Chains A and B, each alone.
Chain A
Amino acid sequence: MIIEVEDLAKHYGEVKAVDGVSFSVEEGEIFGLLGPNGAGKTTLMEILCGLRRVDRGKVTIHGYNLARDSPKVRASIGFCPQETLLYDLLTVRENFAFAASLYSLSSKRFKERIEFSCKVLGVEEFLNRRVQQLSGGMKRRANLAASIIHDPPLVILDEPTVGFDPNVKREFWELIKNLKSYGKTVLLSTHDMYEADEICDRVAIMERGKIVALDKPYVLKETIGGEPSIHVKVKDSQIRRALSTLKGYSSTLKDDEIQVFAPNPWEIMAEVSNKLNLQGVLVEKIEIVEPTLEDVFLKLTGRKLTEVPQ
C-alpha cells in the first residue's frame, strides 16, 4: 500500500472537515475522491501533503509516517492543486528549474525529467515560453509537469480538470492514465462523476467529511446505483396512453420520461417498443440507462453531487 489512512479527523471549530476517514491506496492505481464541494476532499489531500495538521488519526505514505517523517512523505508526493501554481513571468523551463531546486535535483536528473515531461506530458512546444503566454490547457500541463518534476511515486491531483472544456478534459484524462502506465500512483479529487468513472480504478465517495462508500466504480454502480432501466420518451399528449399500455410492467413517469424497470431490460426493450407502436403511441426515444455514480451518490446521501450541502 502506498497510502494508508486510519481514523483521520480534522475539525475547524464545530465543522468536521474530515471525520474519522480510513482508506488505503495500492501502488499503481488511480484512486478517486468523489464528492461535492465542501465534502472535505481538499482538506484531506492537503493533510496528506503535510499542509495541514490533523486532530486525530494516522497517515502512512510510501512507508513513512506523516507525523514523524513529514519531509520524506512530502518528497514522495507530487502535489498539483487546482490552481495553476506557476510563476507567470518565468518560462516553463525556469518554473521547472525552481520546482526541481525545491527537491534538490541534480542537473543531470533535471534534464532527464525535462525529457520525461516533454515525452509524456507534451510540454516541449512551450518549454521556453513564459507562463503568461500559455493557454489554460498548456498551463495545466505545465503545472502537472512541475508537480512531478522530482519523479514522485505518488501524484496527488486536486480537481485536475475543473473548468476544462470536454476536449481538454479528455486530453488531460489521457495524461493521467499515462502517468499510471509509468508506474505512478494517482490520488485525485473530483466532483465530476464521469471523470471518476472514466479514469479511476477505485473511488471513495465523500460526504460531510466522511467516506460513505468505497469500491471500483462499476461495483458501486451495481451494488448501490440500482438496476439499469428502459427510458421512453413520447409526446406529452400521449404520455397517459403510454403509461396505460405499459401497465403490465413496473413503470413510472420521471422528468417527462417513462422509466420501465425489469431484471434484464435488454430482453424486453423490443417488446415495450412494439406494444407502444401497436397502441398508436409514437416513440421519440427509447434507451437503456445504466446507473451512474451520480445515482450512487443520490442513493447514499439523498441529494445530487452538484447540490451544495446545507
Chain B
Amino acid sequence: MDKNKLANPLVELRGVSKAFRSPDGTPRTVLEGVDFSLAEGEIVALLGKSGSGKSTLLRIIAGLTQADAGAAHYRGRPIRGPVSGIAMVFQSFALFPWLTVQQNVELGLEAQGVAPDARRERADAMLELIGLAGFGGALPRELSGGMRQRVGIARALVTNPDVLLMDEAFSALDVLTGETLRNDILDLWDDSRIPTKGILIVSHNIEEAVMMSDRIIILSSDPGRIRHEIRIPLPRPRDVDSAAVRALIDEVYGLMTARPAPAPAPGAGEPAVARVDYRLPDTGVHRIEAVLDLLAAPPFDGRADLPQLSEDAELPDEELFPTYEALGLLGLAHVERGDITLTVLGKRYAEAEHVLRQAMFGQQLLEHVPLVARIRQQLEDEPNGTLPEEPFLELLEDSMDTEEAKRMLEVAIEWGRYGEVFEYDYHTGRLKLPEPEEL
C-alpha cells in the first residue's frame, strides 16, 4: 500500500452523523461521529450487523442522502447530491427490466449526454470486458442472477467512475456465482483494466471482506460508530485456506461478536440485563434451537469456531449473529473471541425433550428478558389475565421508533408463546395468560 496516497483521499467523511425520523417523530440515530476516508488505490470493506448504518454511510457517499452533521467530501468538494465520479452497484441489481442489457449499460452515459455512437462503443467495450459480449440485446429477465449483477457492474463502470460503491453486491447470488464474480472484479482491479481508483464494499460476509479488501472497517450498531479498523496487507489473489486468511477471518469474527459495552459479559455468572428496552436480537425460536442442536452435536460437541459453524449451518453470518446473541442472552451459550461454547444449562437444554425444553425456555425468559418478565407480571396483576399490546408498544416507543418497537414486541411474543409465558391473539392484539393446564 502506498501510504502517501492517504494524503489525497478520494472520499472523506468527518464527524458524520445521521438520524432518521420515524413516522411518530422520534429520531433514531443510525450513524454517529463517523470519520472515514477512502484513499486512491484502496479497497475498503464496511462490516456491521444489520442496523449498524453501513448502507446509510454508503448512501451518504453516493449523495443519495445527506448527513445531519459533519461533512462528506469527494476530491475536496462537498457531496450534495449524486456526482458522476461515484457509481454504485446495488444488492438487488436495480436493473430497469424494460431496457435491454445494452440500454441499461448506456443509461448513465445517456444521462451525461454522450452521443449515441460513442455511447454504443463504450457500452460494447464494457460488456466485453465484463464477459457479457453478445448479450446486449437481451432483457434482464432473460439472464441469471450472476449475469444480471454483471450488467449492474458494467452499468456502473462504463461511466468511468473514480469510486465504485458496492452495496452487498454479491449477497443476492449463490455462493459459487458470487465468488466467481468477485474474483473477476478483483482481476480487473489488480490488472488496472478499469479506471476505478477506489472501491468501497458494504458486506455482511466476513470471508468476502477479508478476501477482497485492503482494509476492513467494523461498525457497531445503534448507533453506528466505527469500532475497529483492520488492515490486510496480504497480496491478492488470496488463498481462502491459507493460515493468514483463516486467522484474519477468526479475528474479524471475534470482533464482530464481541458485545458492546452496555451488554453484560456473557459467562461471567449472571447475564444481568436490566433494561426492559434491551434490543432483543431478531431471531426465531426454531433458529435458536437449530443452532443449539448443531452446536451440541458432533463434531462440535458443545464448542465451535464461528466460521466453521456458519459453514455447517449453511447460513450467512448476518442471520447467525442475532442467534448467537440470543443464546448468550438466555444463558445457553457464550461467545468469546470467535468461539461459541454451550453452558451447562445449554447442554442440559440440548438433551431435554420437547416439553421440558419449552419449560426451560420460559424459565430463562422470565429470568433474563425483562420485557417478557414485565409482560407476565402485569398479566398476573390483571384480574382476568389479559391485556392489550398497546401499553407495551408505547413503553418500548419511549426509547426506540415505532417500527423497532413493533419488531421487538413481535420477537418477545414469539419467544413468550414458545416458553408458554403468555399467549397472544393476532386479530384482537391482546396478550393473555396461558390456560392453567389440567393435570
Note whether A and B form a binding pair.
Answer: no
B residues in contact (CB < 8 Å) with A: none
